[in-house]
Structure 1
Amino acid sequence: MHTPKLSKLVVAVAVSLLSWQVTATCSTDFTPIQQIQGDGAQSPLAGKTLTTQGVVLGTMYPGSKQPSLLIQSLKADSNPATAEALMIADSQLAALYQPGQLVQLTGTVRELGKMTALTNITASAVCAEQQPLPKLQLQLPVKQLNDWEALEGQYLVFPQTLVVNDSYPLARYGEILLADRRLMVSTEVKKPGAEAQTFEKQQQLHEIWLDDHSVRQNPEPIPFPTGGLSADKTVRVGDEVRGVEGFLVQTKAGYRLLPTKAPAFASANPRSNTPKTKPDGALRVASFNVLNFFTGAGQTPQFPTKRGASNADELVRQQGKMIAALSAMDADIIGLLEVENNGYATDGALATIVRLLNEKLGSTVFAFVETADKPGTDQIKVALIYRIASVKPLGQPAMNMTGPFVRGSRAPLAQSFVHQGSNTELLVSVNHFKSKGSCPKLPGADNDNNDGQSCWNAARVIAAKTLASWLATQPTGQKATHQLVIGDLNAYRLEDPVTTLEQAGWQHLPGATLDKNGAVHWSYVYKGRSGSLDHALATKTLAEKLVQFEHWHINADEPAVLDYNTEHKSKNQLKNLYAPTPFRSSDHDPLVMDFKF
């Protein structure tokens, strides 16, 4: 749980630690919990001092400095919009009372953070023992988002198998996002605009965050999967979770389920140590965003690098994962993205990648395509490396450093090759369009217009049009009917930049990408939604030669804490959460595709 989100609640709970007394009998004259909660976001009785009654469900955040009780009415009312449970903000009572006790309390109603609570308890009594806990069976999706407000504080049991959809805050706050299925980026499966908006609104009914029932930051051990996370014991997006039950609370970040028992995790999206086997005689092309691989060469001091490793240890760890991934791809041509734009010297980023990859493979297997020393104005660039025995460069490498590629979108790189096994020529262009973040401050076409495409969509469309026109000129000096565009277009499958390229005659690989539940392919997970920012598009003649295509899911589905970074990790975690394997070598999954001529 995010401690900052609870700061107001914790402060308010501390204020409530006044003296209380246990009375001998329970009055029949009390205010039902439902009347205290009301049918809105806040209590209609806020500020009132009153007496209420309920069964103790348990304690919120029992290991914190200021735990609170949760009680629930013995009898539900007829209004589905009113919550049946209430927070009792008194740490002394939280330590005294046990689940199943029917208690009566007198105090003042307040809104603490996002929850209605009874504070400043002046009287309390146990009315009965061993009452059954009122547990509500709940199936996702809920009918409407307001349903969660009416369930605030209650004990919920999810009888269905749930699916992990996000683990980004797992290591920092002990939270994972669950839903009844994998949730997709709206514009991955629906057209931008009204269709995408409606789809996303519906998806929000399918999810709930599972918290570790703690206010600690950087918990150790990391709570999920049950038994703790490690480099070898992961929890991936797509994995299944059963036996989920606990208390529903509301924080500034939204609704969270605090588990009362350990849920059962099951692998439903297992790791794959390598991509699918390359068919005999096929040409394999891959695209890989290496997530800001910076060596710091040429800067003083070398560390921290401008975007990547903060120190020498992190660089070694980053290299270990990246090279494990690259060497396992078995590719003949690899497009690289987010490589430090620091030239081609032996200590530069691109030369370092090729040197380490060749060392891993035991001989000089790969070489890089060399262009301008520092193309474009960005700190990162795209690059191409190739297997010397499989392909041979033809003509001249070309980069477009005009128009949208001066600033924003990185300058695209194109190189023609001949596949020596089939004597077939093709052109490969690697690309990295402008990201969706850092929205412009002034109004205009590049602002977020709420159609699902976020910011800078117009800039990405211009980049797509410029790229298509440029490649039509055969910029490498070699006439190639087989052409391939790969890279991170920072646009999901049905967004304008991708469809702009399709309208220009490029065919999206691998063709049909949708099934009845959404997209078959994804390369990125963001805020609990899966989608493809990374794409491959080919001319018709080359698309016809495709025999195999894969998003190799080694990164997007993995917890971010399994990456190379050392911040916010204990000595044990630095050891146990890291392995020089492909998994979480980046935040993007590589694309791997095979062509047979």
Structure 2
Amino acid sequence: MTVYHKFSAIAFAVAAALPMMAPAGVLTSEYVDGSSYNTGLEIYSSGDSVQVLSPFSCQAAIITPIYDVQGEGASSPLIPQGSFTSKQEYTVKGVVTARGESLFKGFYLHDLEGDNNPKTSDGVFVYLGGAVPTELVPGIEVCVQGLVEEKFGLTQINISKDKKFAIGAKVPVPTAIPLKIHSDESLSEALERYEGMKVVLDAGSDLKVSRNFSFDYSAKRNNLVASYRAPLMKPTQLYPALSNEALALAKANLDNQVVIESDLKAPNGVIPYFPDFNAETGYIRVGDQIQNLEAMVGYSYGSYRLVATNTVTSTDFVRLQDRVTAPAIASQGDIRVASFNVLNFFNEVVGGDTNPTGKNRGALSEAEMVLQRTKIVNALTAMDADIVGLMEIANNGFGELSAIQHLLDALNAQLSNEDAYAFVSLRDQDKYQQKYFGSDAITVGLLYRPSVVNLKGDAKVIITPEQHTKPGTISRPLANGEQEMNPGNSAYQRHSLLQTFFSERAAINCGS
């Protein structure tokens, strides 16, 4: 390997001018003028002397193959059991396959030869902890020396302290390897075999969109989640909560998912690896199979991640079930009931009241709020329901500046007086701090058409943990399957409606 070192003239000038006992702290460039990663010639004072360190070189070092750093297990065999860092530094050599500027701060190396063992990875991440020098680009051979670490599950070589690396010749960049999941392993186990390598998704990878492109609260950025063969099912959709079956499926779900990322955090509404993303012709649906995406395999925030290195088009999201023009709306019956998640509809940016937490989870600008409101109103108008249960609406009361009043005004502006809605409020004594429904930032709500249905008395608030109303107050199913009816209501039809949000519900006097 040819190592390039270029020492700036100021280093020699400082060394010549300093007396033997003078303090100094000058770090010169190892190989490039102006680079912030300079490890070649260092002049520093220990208090009573000045030392000059030699440039880093791999020429006399013992090279450890990358696949020996990775090993066949979940962690590096070079790290003692019970520890997260190797006891000594190791020197590895490979070709740069990608740079990490944000999510992973460093670069990826691929072994130049490999061991042809599918159980070991030929790639590894090199952690710099800051900006990557411009010279470290894909196709450059690099030799590095540092401690081997298991950083929250990611095997990496840490050179952030001494920046021990040397640049060699330009070589061909290894071709991305198709991601293959064997029948006897989970997706997580397969990804561990490719950790630090560049892979490409093809039809055989069979990764399906499980959670669409949205905000990831762990990584504090937008991304999507894919799973092997089929989208993940909520365990409690199939089994009782905390049952053995539900717990087993929850664990299986954790082993069968991967986050698809961009290295740089993207603005809202932008997918860096899918530039044609739009709501009309470039949309993504849960269940779409992802193909032709090339990505680096990494691990952070408790999840495996595919960090995209190329771009894809709408044809690379292969779907079996596309959108329909509009869903069929039930036409039989006397009353149409619907439920709708307004996805954090907050009106604070246009002067709306605050919620009990004082935190705005919704739109951060008037333009964003108007766009969200327009989409909600269009959807509710098309649903044409007589009663609508709302979820994730801001919990900022029921007054003129409340979110539910704001939404109601916008909705009724599009409707005739006969089709107009009203909302259900609560008695002041049932409200948290005599204003809110619960103490969370969001809550549930009910809209209804007075021309079709009427309210019978005040709304009932069910205070947890009881989670059911007392006998005789409303009709309710009994254990034998029959319906308990209040004799006083036999003269007319009466229905009891309950709106709840199982994902995140507020409860009076019980927090969230």
Normalising TM by the smaller chain, what interval? 0.5 to 0.7
Q: Which has the higher contact order (CA 8 A, sep 6+)?
A: 1
Partner of 1:168: 214
1:399 pairs with one of 459, 462, 465: 459
1:239 equivalent to 2:288? Answer yes
Kindly state the Cα deviation for residue 376 of structure 1 after the two structures are TM-superposed: 1.9
Deviation by residue 1:19-50 (Cα, 9 ceiling, x = unmatched): 39797x97896322233334452452624344
Look up the equivalent residue of 1:175 and give its one-letter code.
N
Correspondences of 1:121-160 after superposition (within 5 Å): 124=166, 126=168, 129-130=171-172, 132-133=174-175, 135-139=177-181, 143-144=185-186, 145-160=188-203
Partner of 2:135: 95
Q: Distance in 2 between matches of 1:124 and 1:369?
A: 68
Q: Distance in 2 between matches of 1:313 and 1:66?
A: 34
Q: Distance in 2 between matches of 1:229 and 1:362?
A: 36
Asked if the contact 1:108/1:118 (under 8 Å) is kept, the reply is: yes
Question: Please, what TM-score do these two structures have when normalized by structure 2?
Answer: 0.64
Structure 1: gaps spanning 5 or more residues: 1-13, 409-458, 492-525, 527-532, 534-597
Kindly state the Cα deviation for residue 360 of structure 1 after the two structures are TM-superposed: 0.1
Correspondences of 1:540-551 after superposition (within 5 Å): none
Q: Give identity over the alignment, percent.
A: 20
Q: Distance in 2 between matches of 1:353 and 1:325?
A: 12
Look up the equivalent residue of 1:52 and give its one-letter code.
V
Q: Distance in 1 between matches of 2:134 and 2:77?
A: 22
Q: Distance in 2 between matches of 1:218 and 1:364?
A: 45
Q: Distance in 2 between matches of 1:384 and 1:368?
A: 8
Q: Distance in 2 between matches of 1:26 and 1:142?
A: 42
1:471 equivalent to 2:475? Answer yes
Q: Distance in 2 between matches of 1:104 and 1:26?
A: 12
Asked if the contact 1:327/1:357 (under 8 Å) is kept, the reply is: yes
Correspondences of 1:260-299 after superposition (within 5 Å): 260-265=309-314, 266=317, 268=319, 270=322, 274-279=326-331, 283-290=335-342
Asked if the contact 2:96/2:136 (under 8 Å) is kept, the reply is: no
Correspondences of 1:12-411 after superposition (within 5 Å): 17-19=38-40, 30-38=63-71, 39-42=73-76, 44=78, 46-54=86-94, 56-61=95-100, 67-72=106-111, 74-76=113-115, 80=119, 82-89=120-127, 95-96=135-136, 98-99=138-139, 103=141, 105=143, 107-111=145-149, 113=151, 114-117=154-157, 119=159, 120=162, 124=166, 126=168, 129-130=171-172, 132-133=174-175, 135-139=177-181, 143-144=185-186, 145-160=188-203, 161-166=206-211, 167-169=213-215, 173-180=221-228, 181-192=230-241, 193-214=243-264, 217-219=265-267, 222-223=270-271, 226-230=274-278, 232=280, 233-265=282-314, 266=317, 268=319, 270=322, 274-279=326-331, 283-290=335-342, 302-304=352-354, 316-337=370-391, 352-368=406-422, 372-374=426-428, 376-378=430-432, 379-380=436-437, 383-387=445-449, 391-393=452-454, 396-401=456-461, 405-406=462-463, 408=464
Kindly state the Cα deviation for residue 185 of structure 1 after the two structures are TM-superposed: 0.9
Structure 1 residue matching 2:75: 3-state secondary structure: coil
| CA RMSD of superposed structures (Å) | 4.5
Asked if the contact 2:273/2:309 (under 8 Å) is kept, the reply is: no
More helix by share: 1
Computing the radius of gyration from Cα coordinates, the structure with the larger value is: 2
Asked if the contact 2:70/2:155 (under 8 Å) is kept, the reply is: no
Look up the equivalent residue of 1:84 and give its one-letter code.
D
Kindly state the Cα deviation for residue 76 of structure 1 after the two structures are TM-superposed: 1.8
Q: Distance in 2 between matches of 1:76 and 1:117?
A: 19
CA gap 1:158/1:469 in 2 versus in 1, 3 angstroms: farther
Asked if the contact 2:273/2:311 (under 8 Å) is kept, the reply is: no
Asked if the contact 1:57/1:69 (under 8 Å) is kept, the reply is: yes
Deviation by residue 1:536-585 (Cα, 9 ceiling, x = unmatched): xxxxxxxxxxxxxxxxxxxxxxxxxxxxxxxxxxxxxxxxxxxxxxxxxx
Asked if the contact 2:423/2:446 (under 8 Å) is kept, the reply is: yes
CA gap 1:375/1:264 in 2 versus in 1, 3 angstroms: farther
Deviation by residue 1:500-540 (Cα, 9 ceiling, x = unmatched): xxxxxxxxxxxxxxxxxxxxxxxxxx9xxxxxx9xxxxxxx
Question: Please, what TM-score do these two structures have when normalized by structure 1?
Answer: 0.56
Q: Distance in 1 between matches of 2:487 and 2:411?
A: 27
Q: Distance in 1 between matches of 2:318 and 2:118?
A: 40
